[in-house]
Amino acid sequence: MTSSLLEHINFPKDLRQLNQDELPQLAKELREFIIDIVATKEGHLGASLGVVELTLALHYVFDTPNDQLIWDVGHQAYGHKILTGRKNIFHTNRQQGGLSGFPNREESEYDTFGVGHSSTSISAALGMAIASQLKGEDKQHIAVIGDASIASGMAFEGLNHAGVTTANLLVILNDNAIGIDPSVGALKQYLTNVKKGKEKQDNIFEALNFDYSGPIDGHDFKALILELERLKTVKGPKFLHVITTKGKGLKQAEDDQVTYHAPGKFDSVTGDVFPKKKIVEAPKFQDVFGHTIVELANLNKNIVGITPAMPTGSSLKFMMAQIPDRAFDVGIAEQHAVTLAAGMATQGLIVFCNIYSTFLQRAYDQVIHDVALQNLPVIFCLDRAGLVGEDGATHHGVFDIAYLRCIPNMIICAPRNEVELRNIMYTAQLGLKHPIAIRYPRGRGSIIDWRVPFSELKIGKGIQLKKGNLIAVLSFGVMASNVEEAISEVNYAEAISHYDMRFVKPLDKDLLDEIFKFYKTVISIEDGVVTGGFGSAILEFASAKNYNIPVKVLGVSDNFIEHASVKQQHQSLKIDAESLSILFNATIVHLMSQY
């Protein structure tokens, strides 16, 4: 039996002691290690399997961490983490108190730049390279970026600048023709032609003043190491085009790259994803969106859908399959997606622009300048709003309420369940005069029979879900379910009124007037940041109207929330049902002691 190589590799300096002909065996062991852990602990699988040889070759050739290696996005960095001192704790990946699922500067000196959103690696690596020049340091700076990420505008901005510098920068294109979903756009076709040996005379990267080499097989150690060693001696900006297979080494992951991007739990021996228990479940909010937009689009020929590289994650894939000429995946290009939507809206189209909440941050100027300033009725569907669990700080959608609330003309709504999501989508396409942001969470809701007839909602109007006589609890969006569960556990439930405010902009001021005139205490609850969020809007209202009853604001504190399950994150913020019930009980007892 061949002795294990990986058990003796804890840092890249150990790796560099191996003979080159031992690397294929180490690659096999590293893949098995990743598969065994991710099969039970979950995480991003396919991307990390695809770059095993590249990861080993980079740490074998370069003097990391002195030479600085930046992974774009970070989905592919599991092998990197295992080889850089974290092998023995890799089983804690994405768990509360454990390793981050992405490179994190606080976690290791080998993680030279924190990543999570795509297309940042070239700019970051260039910044490091210029800094090294200014300080007179002799270092290598390597950015590894995927073919989906490099199509983003920011990546081109970085390339454009790098091409007129003498910085010691190496950009490695990990070309596997897929991000989370298959790559799209003209650049994808260009790269396909390059791989087929076409268009060599007009190489776009050479035109940007990069010393281009490739394409080379990203699973061929000999070719990789030979070229990386050569590139170490080349001055200025360099570009290496590497061809890999996402999911390499696990047949199912190679054959179904979308599913095995992050497959959940699976059998590490067979590779089969464990079947879901055959129970009737409420749908995911994303699927309610996906099926509802198809229903609406079949009724209204002016409806179109847009997503930046998330057709599966957003479930716009249903519309792309059934009405392909009116559904658009624009690639990793959030800024373009928003302004594209604005352009369509000027021509009378009804545009549903579906973007993960955390990624809309990348198009903030476009939301203000191109949509809201012109008061164009674009319908933003913000998937993954609120806390998203194990993906952690880079992916939480907790800032959207605060950063959108300050924008004139913007309507902001958070449906508390699947039926409300359907109804606000229906309402939005009836002819709103302003842009609207509809925020909803990742995961499943609570209503199994959600396909009910559409009903128009009144913009800016909340509703009372339960009547009480002492405390008014104001919830926004799906936090209503935590409140309802909490109320069911309190000793004096008759003391609590529960309101679903539905809209943070415009606020239901008539309803708020009734609330502040009747109750002794108001508690607001949201799954967004409390600074500038829903609770802040309630406080601003109370201040403007000179109401002086106590208002307690609950939500996401002024910190970046690390990876854990959503339940654990709610518990840490004390917005879970148990913590809320304790708070409600204590508040009721305090108020009853006063009267």
Of the candidates 214, 210, 224, 208, the one whose C-alpha atom is nearest the C-alpha of residue 191 is 214
Polymer length of the chain = 595
H-helix or E-strand spanning residue 513: helix 509-518
Is 420 in contact with 453 (CB distance < 8 Å)? Answer: no
Is 266 in contact with 312 (CB distance < 8 Å)? Answer: no
**What is the per-residue DSSP string for 325-346?**
GGEEE--S-HHHHHHHHHHHHH
Q: Which residue in this structure is represented by tokens 């199912």?
A: 252
DSSP state of 80: H
Give yes or no: 334 in active site. Answer: yes
- Torsion sign, CA atoms 232, 233, 236, 239: negative
- The residue annotated as part of the active site, out of 53, 227, 334, 390, is 334
H-helix or E-strand spanning residue 471: strand 471-475
CA atoms within 13 A on the CB side of 294: 17
- The residue annotated as part of the active site, out of 81, 188, 238, 246, is 246
Give yes or no: 246 in active site. Answer: yes
Q: Are strands 238-243 and 327-329 parallel, antiparallel or unpaired?
A: unpaired
Q: How far apart are CA 79 and CA 81, in angstroms?
A: 5
Give yes or no: 494 in active site. Answer: no
- The residue annotated as part of the active site, out of 248, 362, 442, 520, is 362
Burial (CB < 10 A; 0-12, 13-18, 19+), residue 251, is: exposed
Is 237 in contact with 205 (CB distance < 8 Å)? Answer: no
Of the candidates 30, 38, 52, the one whose C-alpha atom is nearest the C-alpha of residue 246 is 52
Amino acid in the structure at residue 170: L
- DSSP lists the bridge partners of residue 282 as none
Which residues have a catalytic role annotated? Answer: 246, 334, 362
